[in-house]
Structure 1
Amino acid sequence: MFSRLFSCLSVFLATSILITPTTAIWPAPQSFTNGSSVLYLNQNIRVTYNGAFIPYTYGYVPSSFSSKEFVQAGVSRTLAGIFDSKFVPWILHKPGAKYEPNPLAEGLKWLKTLQIIQTSEDKPSAFKPLAGEVDESYNLTISVEGDVKLTAVSSIGVLRGLETFSQLFYQHSAGTFWYTPFAPVAIEDAPKFPHRGILMDTSRHFFPVEDILRTIDAMAMSKLNRLHVHVTDSQSWPLVIPALPEVSEKGAHHPSETYSPADIERIQKYGAYRGVEVYFEIDMPGHIGSVALSHPELIVAYNEQPYHWWCAQPPCGAFKLNNTAVDEFLETLFDDLFPRLVPYSAYFHTGGDELNKNDSMLDEGIRSNSSEVLQPLLQKFIDTQHSRVRDAKLTPVVWEEIPLEWNVTLGKDTVVQAWLGGDSVKKLTAKGHKVIDSNYNFWYLDCGRGQWLNWANGPAFQLGFPFNDWCGPTKSWRLVYSHDPTAGLTPEEAKLVLGGEVALWAETIDPINFDTIAWPRASVAGEVLWSGRTDASGQNRSQIEAAPRLNEFRERLVKKGVRASPITQAFCVQGEPWECEFAPA
């Protein structure tokens, strides 16, 4: 229980204080009205779920995959999050501003009940849904009398509503009061896109499990619901496969930098409890060079130089496309891995980006870089692996080059991840493909931070100077916010866009700087994907309206232990929106 968090209400302010809050829900609800009455919150609020009292316990973890368990854990996290965050919003107001209620003048009017109603039973797929399979909508009301009602179709919708509820509260600077100044509240909300994600690369740099769990927490706060783990690549293989232990033993950066089956299960369960589905990618047939350290007979072009003839970045390495031993290896790999993933995920990503035709010139079974020779072999490779994915009751995902560059025919269920920008999404949806948009011009968050390569003196130095990376400039939150994944599409094409993912490729990202690069920019994409790029009036959402809300949300992330970067200077955070607005004369 939360009794340890409270002391006597012995501190009162002597003068009246003006309330001037920002109604700062992030992402923006579809419909939100509020008043200016103050209500206080403590551990005495009575919580019911479909009419039955549910207790809430600090640190509660579900004991099963059931709706009631998910909701009870969500309530416990929500209340603990409010009481533990210690979010006193002084930084959001001008120095000396009177922004807090005076408990003595106002009286202590408490929230009395939190009534949660789930209107439909969850299907088993609610806890590992395909995009669109679970209804995440919710309605939330708070009366001036102190009664809260949260209604949702699914338990995942309840979790989304609880996150919104938590953002209505602040801690008083007196230290013993938690209050909302917004009563009465009426919110109707639902996401525009069902797939709202982050891509996390654990091959170029390893991320301990705790860093991944913290990322999931920040995602849940942002109403992001898919964590795509690009778990292996040519640089390292941190994924332990018990049937093939040598692959991680020889392919990981270090024996300590691996994910055991227990780690993978922990990550996936942790995400599921928070409405974040974790799914994995083993990129192939390129980007697989780390397998050469244990099975060199399966790989061509590993660590060949000069690398740019063979791949996009060293140490290169691709599967042999005409080799039965590769197929036997993948059969063993997937038979081991898929049964452990399928309880918690609906998807598996087989990669397919940046396959270099030259690699097969080194393959003794092919000795060609002709598309006419390679395309049928790649078609057979994809067909075989996707059949295994489907046999495991998972849905395959690929990068856009597979259908667009290689003209591989895909199953209708296959989801294609677009990243090259331009008209990629238009081309894919025109072909009838379901699409996840990760346009690098807007949503590659690792960009604009300089080269990871070293440049020798002389001609190479001159060629590389000033050593910018390939995808600069940096994608500021304002650029992230400007992107509409369905821009330029017909209504029918737009229906095929499941949503999007921001990407954090880890060449120069590790656990030390991940948070500052990801947050709050990933949350900004979260609002685009949840709320839509336009508001209820059909107008593009404004930076001027969004900035105060994002500033507050960033403070909430920081109070939850996420090292989110500031988006502007403190003067602008404390000022009026127009004070830091550029308006040409």
Structure 2
Amino acid sequence: MHMMKLVSRVSTLLLSVTPALAIWPAPTSITTGNQTLWIEHNVQVTYNGGIVRWSSLSHPSCPSAAIRTNEELLALQLPWYGGFVPPGSDFRSQDIVHGGVCRALDAILNQNFVPWKLYARNAVKQTEPAANKGKTLITKLEISQTGKDNSSTWKPVGGSVDESYSLSVDLKGTAKIEAVSAVGVLRALESFVQLFYQHTNRQIYTTLAPVEIKDAPQFPHRGILLDVARNYYPVENILSILDGMAWNKLNRLHIHVTDSQAWPLQIPAMPEVSEKGAYAPHAVYTPHDVALIQTYAVHRGIEVIFEIDMPGHIGIVAESHPDIITGWGAEPWTTYCAEPPCGQFRLNETKVDTFLDTLMDDLLPRVSPYSAYFHTGGDEFNFQEYLLDPSVGTNDTTILIPLLQKFTDKNHARVRKAGLVPLVWEEIPKDYNITIEKDVVVQSWLGGSAVQELTSAGHQVIDSNYNFWYLDCGRGQFLNFENGQPFDTYYPFNDWCGPTKSWQLIYQHDPRANLTEEQAKLVLGGEVAVWSETIDETNVDSLIWPRASAAGEVLWSGRLDASGNNRSAVEAAPRLADIRERMVARGIGAAPVHMTFCTQGRNGSTCSWPVGV
């Protein structure tokens, strides 16, 4: 047995759950009926009255949504699909919508699934609608965009882009989407996808007509942090993550692109940094890769934010520029850094400024066409390491903090010069008492009262509380332990942040908990974190999904429902199982939410803990 019997008597009265609606994340408002409509390839799609080029999925204007590799995208040369667009190119609303329509209809018609895991046991034939009777077809999808997009739509600051939408499907077979922005249209299209299933005879249907949805996100920042330095991810893996984010209405990918372990980012002005700092010649991200990732993201309503963490987490630069790094490879590493190898920027060395001026002048102009932000790190600054720094030679905080203040000011000036907003980890203002300007966004990860303290000081905050939203936690140590005292001390070799963050734990975290109304306004949203000590392209799908989906609903729909009650995992579970099946059908190896027994019949109470004794 997998669960001990904790009580001798339990009530047979379980929470009754109405069969769940399919939409994830939960819309602001939704009403549905119980009529069946069908959809085929010849549905006519219009955008602001004009025909969207849509004759069939075999037409080259609508390539398969499964295409993700660099080579395939380059061969297509379709910028609206997410192919390469040179930096500085303009994004057009009609291209964004066109690509979204193609991907949505591809998902509905070519990448759908028979929901046998969601129907009662052996009841697919009895549950799905009869396909041999007179059928009402959805013949029209009318898309209206009521507002004008501008450059800030594609790289929004905070909530500057309106992602709201309305979606309706009537009984005559006309579907309508209305949104202020092209990004809102994309969000509506993903909800439209979730209305449909594949019949066992391969036809496509919905049983929810008529449908009325009005929706908008609670938080403007709904993200995933991906560490690509500790383990390298091929570009197609990153594009796949972007697809999953779009399907779950997540809108920020934070790429932690360098660390002390590796520097995979090519910098044309300083090619030696990646040549000597990458794990291997192929394990790099070229300028083309960077532009491709960002463009692919924009066409899915996602903003990519790159991070170069400093002045700590930067030791690898010593391989190419040893005279600007202190403590590279210092032992014992536990004295000088959070994990090996150690190495931080020298804080009183002018050559550091020369290095950073060159780096930022090269990189930031290539980032700024696609993003409003750049993350400068600042976490886990180790004072002991400056005992080894010939430019400092002390761990005295009265000397080091002013040097760190100067370093931070210069770095943020470089970011602002490029027209970007700086981000930092919470230690910069909270633990090191570094003064930062009001435009700087602070990412909080240490939990406790951190978000309360930061917002009470007037800082904008992104919540990544490790107690809830670190997806790498609870999977064991990446370190090795010698026999004897090390083995005995660290057995059974748990990692520092266990236990594993289950989707239920992730789902119950509220970034606004215990905040005043004014403080809550400063919480832009949150990010689940994928630190990659023991994660790479082989297991990343199952570790992100569908747990990031759970955070996605918290950030889109809010932790409280329309009645002001905490959203229930019992209600959420069948819908989460549904979106998981859709992700699998669309090519992402998402982990199961439950054993199939728990989801059949769409009754979340089947595997709920009994209430009452």
TM-score tier (shorter): over 0.9
Matched pairs, number: 564
Task: List aligned pairs for 1:514-553, cutoff 5 A.
Answer: 514-553=540-579
> 2:37 touches 2:205 (CA, 8 Å); kept in 1?
yes
2:20 and 2:113 map into 1 onto residues whose CA distance is: 14
**1:70 match:** 96
Deviation at 1:361, TM superposition (A): 1.0
Q: For 1:188, which of 198, 208, 214 is the aligned residue? A: 214
**2:463 match:** 437
* Higher relative contact order, chain-length normalized (CA < 8 Å, sep 6+): 2
Q: For 1:504, which of 530, 536, 553 is the aligned residue? A: 530
Partner of 1:286, secondary structure, is coil
**2:606 match:** 579
**2:50 match:** 52
**1:102 match:** 130
Q: For 1:201, which of 213, 223, 227 is the aligned residue? A: 227
Task: List aligned pairs for 1:136-535, cutoff 5 A.
Answer: 136-175=163-202, 177-535=203-561
1:86 and 1:167 map into 2 onto residues whose CA distance is: 10
Deviation at 1:224, TM superposition (A): 0.3
2:232 and 2:153 map into 1 onto residues whose CA distance is: 30
Partner of 1:450, secondary structure, is coil
Q: Which amino acid in 1 is paired with 2:558?
A: G
Deviation at 1:22, TM superposition (A): 4.2
Q: Which amino acid in 2 is paired with 1:54?
A: V
**1:11 match:** none
Partner of 2:40, secondary structure, is coil
Q: For 1:26, which of 24, 47, 62 is the aligned residue? A: 24
> 2:37 touches 2:138 (CA, 8 Å); kept in 1?
yes
Partner of 2:423, secondary structure, is strand
**1:566 match:** 592
Deviation at 1:411, TM superposition (A): 1.1
1:243 and 1:304 map into 2 onto residues whose CA distance is: 29
Q: Which amino acid in 2 is paired with 1:476?
A: S
2:358 and 2:571 map into 1 onto residues whose CA distance is: 53
2:388 and 2:183 map into 1 onto residues whose CA distance is: 50
Partner of 2:110, secondary structure, is helix
**1:124 match:** 151
> 1:209 touches 1:267 (CA, 8 Å); kept in 2?
yes
> 1:302 touches 1:317 (CA, 8 Å); kept in 2?
yes
User: Per-residue CA shift, 1:438-466, capped at 9, x if unaligned?
Assistant: 00000000000000101111111111111
1:530 and 1:46 map into 2 onto residues whose CA distance is: 30
2:463 and 2:20 map into 1 onto residues whose CA distance is: 32
User: Per-residue CA shift, 1:43-82, capped at 9, x if unaligned?
Assistant: 2211111111111332264185111110111111110111
**1:88 match:** 114
> 2:41 touches 2:109 (CA, 8 Å); kept in 1?
no
2:158 and 2:41 map into 1 onto residues whose CA distance is: 36
2:514 and 2:19 map into 1 onto residues whose CA distance is: 38
1:538 and 1:165 map into 2 onto residues whose CA distance is: 27
1:444 and 1:334 map into 2 onto residues whose CA distance is: 29
**1:9 match:** none
1:493 and 1:174 map into 2 onto residues whose CA distance is: 54
Partner of 2:41, secondary structure, is coil
Partner of 1:184, secondary structure, is strand
1:203 and 1:224 map into 2 onto residues whose CA distance is: 22
**Worse overlay, 570-579 or 301-310:** 570-579
Q: Which amino acid in 2 is paired with 1:173?
A: T
User: Per-residue CA shift, 1:159-206, capped at 9, x if unaligned?
Assistant: 00000000001111101x111111000000000000000000001100
1:84 and 1:326 map into 2 onto residues whose CA distance is: 53
1:118 and 1:22 map into 2 onto residues whose CA distance is: 30
**Worse overlay, 41-50 or 235-244:** 41-50
2:460 and 2:427 map into 1 onto residues whose CA distance is: 14
Q: Which amino acid in 2 is paired with 1:353?
A: D
1:163 and 1:99 map into 2 onto residues whose CA distance is: 24
1:555 and 1:277 map into 2 onto residues whose CA distance is: 26
Q: TM-score, normalised by structure 1?
A: 0.95
> 2:572 touches 2:604 (CA, 8 Å); kept in 1?
no
> 2:463 touches 2:523 (CA, 8 Å); kept in 1?
yes
**2:11 match:** none
Q: Which amino acid in 1 is paired with 2:113?
A: F
Q: Structure 1 residues 211, 499: CA separation in 2 closer, same or farther (over 3 Å shift)?
A: same
Q: Which amino acid in 2 is paired with 1:99?
A: T
Q: Give the percent of matched residue pairs that are identical in Structure 1 and Structure 2.
A: 57
Deviation at 1:421, TM superposition (A): 0.1
> 1:21 touches 1:181 (CA, 8 Å); kept in 2?
no
- Mark the runs of 5 or more structure 1 residues left unpaired by the alignment: 1-19
**Worse overlay, 565-574 or 400-409:** 565-574
> 1:21 touches 1:99 (CA, 8 Å); kept in 2?
no
**2:71 match:** none
Partner of 1:393, secondary structure, is coil
Task: Give the RMSD, CA atoms, in angstroms.
Answer: 1.1
Q: Which amino acid in 1 is paired with 2:40?
A: N
**Worse overlay, 144-153 or 211-220:** 144-153
Deviation at 1:212, TM superposition (A): 0.2
Partner of 2:289, secondary structure, is helix
**2:12 match:** none
> 1:75 touches 1:162 (CA, 8 Å); kept in 2?
yes
- Mark the runs of 5 or more structure 2 residues left unpaired by the alignment: 1-17, 55-60, 64-77
1:528 and 1:77 map into 2 onto residues whose CA distance is: 25
> 1:416 touches 1:436 (CA, 8 Å); kept in 2?
yes
Deviation at 1:96, TM superposition (A): 2.5
User: Per-residue CA shift, 1:546-580, capped at 9, x if unaligned?
Assistant: 00000111000111111111121111121432221
1:373 and 1:99 map into 2 onto residues whose CA distance is: 72
